[in-house]
A and B are shown apart, each in its own frame.
Chain A
Amino acid sequence: MKIELRAFMKFKTYLPSDSIDGKAMISLKDGATVADLLGALGIPLDEQKLIIINGISRGVSGTVNAKTLGDGDVVAIFPPAAGG
């Protein structure tokens, strides 16, 4: 399946080379989680972040890593607006 990744601020460095304007399509296996996405990009799993999936903020809690993604999901990743 493919998800649309939108990386902002310091997370732009993790974008693949074919990204345009901070956006890229990322291929993942079906039933992949946020953790799988982070792994595919090389972002450490314990990196603090604010994740917004399909426009709904999932906050900065670590439990977001376990969230399952679906085909066509839009995932925006920011530095946390909370926490260290």
Chain B
Amino acid sequence: MDAWMGKIIRVNLTYGEYQIEEIDPDYVRPYFGGRGLGSKILFDEMDPQVDPFSPENKLIFMTGPLTGTGAPCGARYMVITKSPLSGTIACSNSGGFFGPELKFAGYDGIIFEGASDEPVYLWINDDEVEIKPAHNLWGKTTHETEDLIRAQIENKYIAKELRVASIGPAGEKLSRIACVINDKNRAAGRSGVGAVMGSKKLKAIAVRGTGRIMLADKEGFQKAIWHSRDILRAGSLTAELLPTLGTPAFVNIINQAHLFPTKNWQETYFEKANDISGETMAETTLKRTRGCFSCPLACGRVTEITDPKYIGMGSAKNKGEGPEYETLNLMGGSCEVNDLSAITKANYLCNELGMDTISAGSTVACAMELYEKGYITEEEMGLKANFGNAEALVLLTEKMGKREGIGDSLADGSYRLAEKYGHPELFMGAKKLEAPGYDPRGAQGIGLNYATGNRGACHVRGFTIVNEIAGIHETIDPLVTEGKAAMVKTLQDITAVIDSAGLCLFIALAPGFLYEEIQSLVNAASGAGYTVEELVVIGERIWNLERLFNLKAGFTKADDTLPKRILEEPGGPKGDVCRLNKMLPEYYQLRGWDENGIPTADKLSELGLE
């Protein structure tokens, strides 16, 4: 096969065995790769009702056909499993260099089954695959883990070239918001996928590959790459804002649009947002930028803190990468913290201990509201935790990652925290997944996307903000509900295709990057001859497959909802609520689902499902 490697490693951790499987091109074609292929395998091989922490849950790492080929923004791999946080299907996406290296080694993906009794890590060096003991790695941070693995390899050349994906103490301790970290500072962040890895006592995957990805039409592929790069160069966000300021460029924009969740979503505008903006970061903590494999955007932020107050606080180092926009909101505005050094330190803690910054920040914000309202006492908390308390942000993040003290109650996310203390209505998200930093009371469409998201409240599954605020592909009034159902469905479907291809979503932040561009890249690389119509259907098929998984796992229409605060308490620039009930019925209709949000037999048949 071209573009795809054609092979998957299937590892049984219970028996300590593995086998190499060839993938059937006919099986892959309708699901493309990455998110689509991984979700299809999970759906076919596993009962959606399994306990996410049981050995029956499968953990799949999957790249896409464009991963590692040199396509711009083509560095992504995904971690697919059943989420212990939301109970939905999980597909967590990450960049860096790990995904491409796995393909260079000769594999499209890895399926982990069962669970090991003892800590292990998987070592892949081209054809050489070995399950190695990881006793000396267990308990270590993600950074220490990568350093130790390199130090253990005798051949210094190989040691330098290998790439590592691992969990930190948070994943080992089954924190439901634990993530997988690769290349030290990239994260397959959401849905607690790191905890599933921890439940299997799988500490890390280290891979080194010297092979090549075969390309069907090298000349055509080169042309398609140049065309895509032209599109990226012509977009202000992709050519200027992301390279110079990174995602933190969004802070002031989202805040001025009154979409910036503040004080656990009690407000939507943060007076002090500029203190934690991309502009401020560029003048203070930013050292240089960093890009993923084959990416011209280089939106990564290499940073360092010098504030003596935080240098000695918490166990993380005082340099690393980030924070990103989401972190600046969920640990900044949502916690009412305007101290960039504090947020940066908490971010470093998340990277080293292995936690999702969105869920961690949102959980601290929730804890702060519970504390201010007296539902958690200072004695229980172990410290003062008012909104705006930057120290509390850092200390609570550390406790969370290590399950220490009150951290044990925070480590499973804000839904379980709020419920434990009698106030589940203070959880801000959907399907138990904490929502990212865009308030639906200022942009109706993102609310529909959060409520219908197959992994819960997520922005990257249907990033309506690109149109509602930034006007990238179309200009649409953020405050109306008309037209939002159609826009959300369209974005959700094309995003599924972008994810499955192994491309970073940011490639679609340039005007003019559409299905045709994905088609050109994939067809030249693979020779598969996809039509645009086929790609459109693939996106819809993947979305419906994920929906079916969730329905079988026990989700219903009642779960397609948002917190009371967002549906009933005014926010946004005009004191609106999110009028989800005006958008949801039309969305179900456009999707070809019945009034209970269940795909009709006709729709399933049309998509070749069931």
Is chain B found bound to chain A in the same assembly?
Answer: yes
By a beta-carbon cutoff of 8 Å, the part of chain A in contact with chain B is: 6, 8-9, 21-22, 48, 50, 52, 54-61, 76, 78-84
The answer to whether B189 has its CB under 8 Å from any CB of chain A is: no
Q: Which partner residue on chain B sits nearest A77 by CB separation? A: B256
Q: For A61, list chain B residues within 8 Å (CB).
A: 471, 475
* In the complex, chain B residues 446-500 whose Cβ is within 8 Å of any chain A Cβ: 466, 468-473, 475-479
A60, B257: Cβ atoms closer than 8 Å: no
Residues of B in contact with A, size category: 20 to 34
In angstroms, Cα B253 to Cα A52, docked, is 8
In angstroms, Cα B473 to Cα A61, docked, is 11
Q: Residue among A9, A57, A61, A82 with the most chain B CB within 10 A?
A: A57
The answer to whether B572 has its CB under 8 Å from any CB of chain A is: yes
B235, A84: Cβ atoms closer than 8 Å: yes
A84, B256: Cβ atoms closer than 8 Å: no
Known interface pairs A55-B442, A56-B477, A57-B478; A79-B241 also in contact (CB < 8 Å)? yes
Chain B, residues 250-294, CB within 8 Å of chain A (1/0): the string is 001100111000000000010000100001000000000000000
| Shortest CB distance A55–B (Å) | 3
The answer to whether B573 has its CB under 8 Å from any CB of chain A is: yes
The answer to whether B234 has its CB under 8 Å from any CB of chain A is: yes
The answer to whether B236 has its CB under 8 Å from any CB of chain A is: yes
Our pick among B240, B252, B473, B574 for the contact of A56 (Cβ within 8 Å) is B574
The answer to whether B511 has its CB under 8 Å from any CB of chain A is: yes
A55, B471: Cβ atoms closer than 8 Å: no
Q: For B471, list chain A residues within 8 Å (CB).
A: 50, 57, 59-61, 80-82
Q: Which 6 residue pairs of A and B lie closest in terms of their CB atoms, listed nearest first?
A: A55-B573, A59-B471, A81-B470, A59-B475, A82-B472, A55-B258
Q: Which partner residue on chain B sits nearest A12 by CB separation? A: B279
Q: For A58, list chain B residues within 8 Å (CB).
A: 475
In angstroms, Cα B438 to Cα A57, docked, is 14
In angstroms, Cα B471 to Cα A22, docked, is 24
Q: For A76, list chain B residues within 8 Å (CB).
A: 252, 256
Q: Residue among A21, A22, A61, A82 with the most chain B CB within 10 A?
A: A82
Q: List 15 A-B contacts (CB under 8 A).
A: A50-B253, A52-B253, A54-B573, A56-B574, A58-B475, A59-B469, A59-B475, A60-B470, A76-B256, A78-B252, A81-B237, A81-B241, A82-B237, A83-B235, A83-B236
B279, A9: Cβ atoms closer than 8 Å: yes
In angstroms, Cα B478 to Cα A22, docked, is 25
Known interface pairs A8-B252, A21-B274; A82-B257 also in contact (CB < 8 Å)? no
In angstroms, Cα B574 to Cα A82, docked, is 25
In angstroms, Cα B245 to Cα A60, docked, is 19
In angstroms, Cα B473 to Cα A83, docked, is 9
Q: Residue among A50, A58, A76 with the most chain B CB within 10 A?
A: A50
Q: For A9, list chain B residues within 8 Å (CB).
A: 241, 245, 249, 279
Our pick among B234, B470, B574 for the contact of A84 (Cβ within 8 Å) is B234
Our pick among A21, A54, A82 for the contact of B511 (Cβ within 8 Å) is A82
What is the interface of chain A mostly: helix, strand, loop, or mixed? loop
Q: Known pairs A59-B476, A61-B475. 4 more at Cβ < 8 A? A: A22-B274, A55-B258, A56-B573, A56-B574
Q: Residue among B471, B472, B477, B478 with the most chain A CB within 10 A?
A: B471
Q: Residue among B234, B249, B468, B469 with the most chain A CB within 10 A?
A: B469
Q: For B470, list chain A residues within 8 Å (CB).
A: 50, 57, 59-60, 80-82
Known interface pairs A60-B471, A79-B236; A55-B252 also in contact (CB < 8 Å)? no
B478, A81: Cβ atoms closer than 8 Å: no
Q: For B478, list chain A residues within 8 Å (CB).
A: 56-57
In angstroms, Cα B50 to Cα A59, docked, is 45
| Shortest CB distance A58–B (Å) | 8
| Shortest CB distance A67–B (Å) | 12
| Shortest CB distance A74–B (Å) | 8
In angstroms, Cα B469 to Cα A60, docked, is 9
In angstroms, Cα B575 to Cα A54, docked, is 12
| Shortest CB distance A62–B (Å) | 10
Q: For A59, list chain B residues within 8 Å (CB).
A: 469-471, 475-476
Our pick among B472, B477, B572 for the contact of A81 (Cβ within 8 Å) is B472
Known interface pairs A8-B252, A8-B279, A82-B470; A56-B236 also in contact (CB < 8 Å)? no
| Shortest CB distance A22–B (Å) | 7
Q: For A22, list chain B residues within 8 Å (CB).
A: 274
Q: For A81, list chain B residues within 8 Å (CB).
A: 236-237, 241, 253, 466, 469-472, 509
B574, A55: Cβ atoms closer than 8 Å: yes
In angstroms, Cα B573 to Cα A80, docked, is 20
* In the complex, chain B residues 217-260 whose Cβ is within 8 Å of any chain A Cβ: 234-237, 240-241, 245, 249, 252-253, 256-258
Q: Residue among A6, A76, A84 with the most chain B CB within 10 A?
A: A84
A84, B469: Cβ atoms closer than 8 Å: no
Q: For B279, list chain A residues within 8 Å (CB).
A: 8-9
Q: For B252, list chain A residues within 8 Å (CB).
A: 8, 76, 78
A57, B468: Cβ atoms closer than 8 Å: yes
| Shortest CB distance A37–B (Å) | 16
Q: Which partner residue on chain A sits nearest B443 by CB separation? A: A57
Q: For B468, list chain A residues within 8 Å (CB).
A: 57
| Shortest CB distance B475–A (Å) | 4
| Shortest CB distance A7–B (Å) | 10
| Shortest CB distance A11–B (Å) | 11
In angstroms, Cα B472 to Cα A82, docked, is 5
| Shortest CB distance B355–A (Å) | 29
A83, B511: Cβ atoms closer than 8 Å: yes
Our pick among A21, A54, A57 for the contact of B469 (Cβ within 8 Å) is A57
Q: Which partner residue on chain A sits nearest B467 by CB separation? A: A59
A52, B236: Cβ atoms closer than 8 Å: no
Q: For A60, list chain B residues within 8 Å (CB).
A: 470-471, 475
In angstroms, Cα B569 to Cα A51, docked, is 27
In angstroms, Cα B249 to Cα A59, docked, is 16
| Shortest CB distance A83–B (Å) | 6
Q: For B235, list chain A residues within 8 Å (CB).
A: 82-84
A55, B572: Cβ atoms closer than 8 Å: yes
| Shortest CB distance A34–B (Å) | 15
Q: For B472, list chain A residues within 8 Å (CB).
A: 81-82
Q: Which partner residue on chain B sits nearest A76 by CB separation? A: B256
